[in-house]
Structure 1
Amino acid sequence: MDELDAEIVGLLQTDARMSNRELARRLGIAPSTCLERVRSLHRRGVIRGYHADIDPAALNRGVQALVSVQVRPLSRAVIDGFKGFASGLPEVLHVFVLSGGDDFLLHVAVQDLDHLHAFLTDRLSKRGEITGFRTSLVFQQVSNTAPSRLPPPGP
């Protein structure tokens, strides 16, 4: 990525609904050049898509939690199977596959504490490959929705 690509990414992270014409105007380049650069960023996988940032509470998901999960035996089949199971649950927003003491981290959002308890006992505790899990409630969340490119490592 060069400087122009980085500027395009930065502007689209701030407002993904910006028109190509407006994007080109802000960058000081021709709309055709801007469009080709954005298409190239898509082809190269830099821009993976566009989405709306929705408040979970507006969808009756006022309680969020992070659930650390340990599974056994550690095999590709077990990891892939649990990952597929967890990502298909409507309560789960994100599934992270980890190294270290925990094998997975699930970001879940539910209506209330009773629903969180039901999720843990009715969905997770019944899975035979799960050997343990810990739950942490999320009180507040701050996200960096526009990360910038980090410089390459120095000598």
Structure 2
Amino acid sequence: MSGSESAPGRNVMRREPDAIDRRLLELLRDDARIPNARLAEEVGLAPSTCLARVRALVDAGVISGFHARLDPRALGLTLEALISVSIRSGARTALAHFAEEMRQLPEVQQVWFLGGAEDFILDVATRDSDHLREFVVENLSSHPSVASTRTSVVFEHTTPGLRLP
């Protein structure tokens, strides 16, 4: 997106992110709780200038939020799976409703709406295989909008975060 285009509900950076902005984004991606004084030191700025740059990145929508990443295993959810979901052709008008229903379920960590063979991929975390089977049967197989599902168990997963060009 160029500086003259605007996404709905977002301001746009008046300039392209420079090397300092990119370094700030990398540091914040890796640790959103880094103190501003340390962040400023890492990029060679005064703390007030650093804070102003971070605020500008937030205002421009480049940074959309600061989040705590929870470890499902630490919460007793030791089995993660990706479930591909195809919606019945007659239920296409209910796509947004289905996605919102899924977001409300405690096992669902992420919901992706796709173009392609499947309509959604759900990232779910469960206690064990019995819990996973129960989730699929109760929330997907019996759902009136769902035509089919395909479940893949996740053995390992890393989140490197967005790499800047």
TM-score by length of 2: 0.85
List runs of 5+ in structure 2 lacking aligned partners: 1-16
Q: How much does 1:31 deviate?
A: 1.4
Q: Which residue matches 1:35?
A: 51
Q: Which structure is higher in RCO with an 8 Å CA cutoff and minimum separation 6?
A: 1
User: Helix, strand or coil: the match of 2:50?
Assistant: helix
- Are positions 1:131 and 2:147 aligned together? yes
Q: How much does 1:74 deviate?
A: 6.4
- Distance, in Å, in 2 between the alignment partners of 1:111 and 1:66 is 15
- Are positions 1:51 and 2:67 aligned together? yes
**1:104-150 deviation digits (Å, cap 9, x = unpaired):** 000000001111111111111111111111111111112213x3212
- Distance, in Å, in 2 between the alignment partners of 1:10 and 1:113 is 36
User: Helix, strand or coil: the match of 1:96?
Assistant: strand
Q: How much does 1:9 deviate?
A: 0.6
Closer, same or farther in 2 for the Cα pair 1:33/1:53, shift >3 Å? same
User: Helix, strand or coil: the match of 1:69?
Assistant: strand
Give the letter aligned to residue 26 of structure 1: E
- Distance, in Å, in 1 between the alignment partners of 2:91 and 2:141 is 20
User: Helix, strand or coil: the match of 1:89?
Assistant: coil
**1:46-67 deviation digits (Å, cap 9, x = unpaired):** 1122222222111111011111
Instruction: Give yes or no for contact 1:66–1:106 (8 Å, CA) kept in 2.
Output: yes
TM-score by length of 1: 0.90
Give the letter aligned to residue 163 of structure 2: S
Q: Which residue matches 1:108?
A: 124
User: Helix, strand or coil: the match of 1:23?
Assistant: helix
| Percent of aligned positions that are identical | 42
Number of equivalent positions: 149
Q: How much does 1:29 deviate?
A: 1.3
Instruction: Give yes or no for contact 1:72–1:78 (8 Å, CA) kept in 2.
Output: no
Q: How much does 1:15 deviate?
A: 2.1
Q: Which residue matches 1:153?
A: none
Q: Which residue matches 1:21?
A: 37
- Distance, in Å, in 1 between the alignment partners of 2:93 and 2:78 is 34
Q: CA RMSD in A?
A: 1.4
Mean Cα deviation higher: 113-122 or 75-84: 75-84
